[in-house]
Amino acid sequence: MCGIVGYVGSLPVKDILINGLKRLEYRGYDSAGVAMWQPEGLEVVHRVGKVANLEEACADKGAGSTCGIAHTRWATHGRPSEANAHPHVSCDGRIAVVHNGIIENYAELREELLARGHAFRSDTDTEVVAHLVEEYYEGDLLRAVRAATRRLVGAYGLVVTCADEAQTLVVARKDSPIVMGVNDDGCYVASDMVALAKDISDIVVLEDYQLAKLTPAGMVFCGVDGEAIEPEVIHVERDLEEAEKGGYPDFMMKEIYEQPRVIRETLDGRMVNGALSIEELDLSVEELSFIDRVYIIACGTSYHAGLIAKNLIEGWARIPTEVEVASEFRYRNPIITPSTLVVAVSQSGETADTKAAISDARVRGAKVFAITNVVDSSIARESDGVIYTKAKKEISVASTKSFTGQVVSLTLLAMLLGQSKGRLSSSQIRLMFRELADTAGQVEEILSDTSVIERAALACKDATSAFYIGRGISSAICYEGALKLKEISYLHAEAYAAGEMKHGPIALIHEGFPVVTVATKSPVYEKTLSNLQESKTRGALIVAVATEGDEKIKEYADYVLYVPKVRNEFSPITVSVVLQLFARYIAVARGCNVDQPRNLAKSVTVE
């Protein structure tokens, strides 16, 4: 949620911290702060709002400093304010801490520390860590942080610096991602690889209950009891373009236009000698054929990809499939047997609820398979197998290209299950695969002229509310379309199975009320058309997403957004691109920051 960056080495630290924060700003952006080591003490600056405000406030700060920590915040405990912005400091100001996660026992620790005379300046859970480290500090920062972490309950990625230890950072992790790397100029630490120096491609992903001490001489690692450890170094291919807009007005637009590539790369290597290959699943055809229940667990947009997959798995493999919001699943008592397959879908691979839900499912004996975009993320590591979606770094908070990667990956999984159940033949699979691959070109076609989508969006931009309706697999797409609109334009939007309209929602329809109807050619096309007319006759403004060549729909819709003809099961791929663009054009017309919508965070690493 929040973003952390730290550096110690030979270069001026201020620019490294500010640039790192800018790259991390997509994670949280209500306030930001830095602490830079200076011989006379730590220089700490906080500002509410964007990193640009902090940069301005630091204009004449940080001279000569080559060691420091920084943070961009997404508020959980304590409203966005300068006092609540990180870094948090000890009573004497000589220890500073940045933190991602939630310290669950902070209230109890705060009481204890108050009783011992510590004075608190903020309402945050994090501040207890600064005072705890101060309490344990006897000239060895690493030892003090080790002692402090033993007292913490909850999740933390921590970076700590101390005025009494020149050129030193101490890092600790539990359930919140921390990556580190070294180059000729020094050591870098961040909550996300994107904030590490661009030439670092060998990274250390700290594991739970591990700590590190960073100095200009390098990094040393230990466990909570001080035992030396040798963490794994992972080589990653860095995409140096990943955090640049590349000529697009915003990251969301850039990422929407990347979708044909995502489809191609996600499918690359999946058809081997005429057979579907998902070898990462690590289950034989026989084992797959025993699966008699599938749970798809996810949050947000990833959950919507799951709703689409339910239609495919049940349709092709006839395996009962439930799609569950991770935060619900983890507190239920789901029916899991050894023949249950749990599929966790998560762009970031770090979403706290999804992670907790799969740990629980594994304990109960399920085989857990992940679909994620981030190599070596926590969810990838904790699963029995993983498909990577090849979307590459997604910066815009509203998910677009990684959703498409998820839908394509889930489609492959559904095909494989269909085949293993003997319900799809090899020749059917080959034909379906070709058609699935064709969606890349079809998305390109949609992207080549978006003028009608933009016109429809401008017609709806002043609405206060909108409905998205569809049937079958199209109703699943509608949930995602409505979420996109809510997230980035702050326009209220709801999705309904079209048949439900007359059971309540239709009461809200009035003149000019936008009803986005997904009415592509499918077995339920005519039924959807009737629902569209019910809204039309009550004055709704109809925006219909329809199949190219459908002339009839023009009679009822105010705007028709055409998509190329595809197999009904693959329509989510093309239709969702149209709905993403529709939401984005509305958001831009309403003057919203589409990449950084208010109150949202890219990766929700707290419960």
Q: Which of 2, 58, 162, 187 is the catalytic position?
A: 2
Q: Which of positions 393-452 make contact with ligand G6P (CB under 6 A)?
A: 397, 399
Residues 292, 407: Cα–Cα separation, whole Å: 22
Q: Is 126 or 603 the residue whose CB approaches ligand G6P more closely? A: 603
Q: How far is the CB of 306 from ligand G6P (least distance, A)?
A: 10
Tell whether residue 378 is a contact of ligand G6P (CB under 6 A): no
* 355 catalytically annotated: no
Among 347, 400, 489, 520, binds ligand G6P (CB under 6 A): 347
When the beta carbons of 68 and 405 are compared against ligand G6P, the nearer one is 405
Nearest Cα to 87, choosing from 78, 100, 102, 76? 100
CB atoms within 10 A of CB 279: 10
For residue 522, state whether it binds ligand G6P (rule: CB under 6 A).
Answer: no
- Note whether 191 binds ligand G6P by CB under 6 A: no
- In three-state secondary structure terms, 416 is helix
Q: How far is the CB of 349 from ligand G6P (least distance, A)?
A: 7
Q: Is 2 a catalytic residue?
A: yes
- Angle CA(95)–CA(99)–CA(104) in degrees, nearest 5? 110
**Which segments of 374-450 does DSSP mark as H helices, in order?**
378-381, 401-420, 426-448
Q: Which of 222, 218, 233 is nearest to 9 (CA)?
A: 218
354 binds ligand G6P (CB under 6 A): yes
* Alpha-helical regions (H) of 79-210: 106-115, 127-136, 141-149
In whole angstroms, how close is the CB of 51 to ligand G6P at the nearest point? 19
Closer residue to ligand G6P, CB minimum distance, 118 or 330: 330
Asked if 354 contacts 389 with a C-beta cutoff of 8 angstroms, the reply is no
Binding mask 293-332 for ligand G6P (x = CB under 6 A): ------xxxx------------------------------
Token pair belonging to 4: 């952390």
Which are the contacts of 495, defined by CB distance < 8 A and separation ≥ 6? 467, 468, 469, 470, 475, 478, 479, 481, 482, 483
Q: Of the listed pieces 179-187, 333-341, 345-353, 528-536, which binds ligand G6P according to CB under 6 A?
A: 345-353
Task: Note whether 604 binds ligand G6P by CB under 6 A.
Answer: yes
Binding region for ligand G6P (CB under 6 A) out of 44-52, 341-349, 498-506, 575-583: 341-349
Torsion region of 303: left, alpha or beta (phi above 0 gives left; psi -120 to 50 gives alpha): alpha
Residue 126 or residue 399: which is nearer to ligand G6P going by CB? 399
Rounded Cα distance between 376 and 472, Å, is: 35
Residue number, nearest CB to ligand G6P = 300
Residue 172: CB minimum distance to ligand G6P, A: 23
Burial label for 606, CB within 10 Å (0-12, 13-18, 19+), is: buried
Name the residues that contact ligand G6P, by CB under 6 A. 299-302, 346-348, 351, 354, 397, 399, 600, 602-604
Q: Annotated active-site positions, please?
A: 2, 602
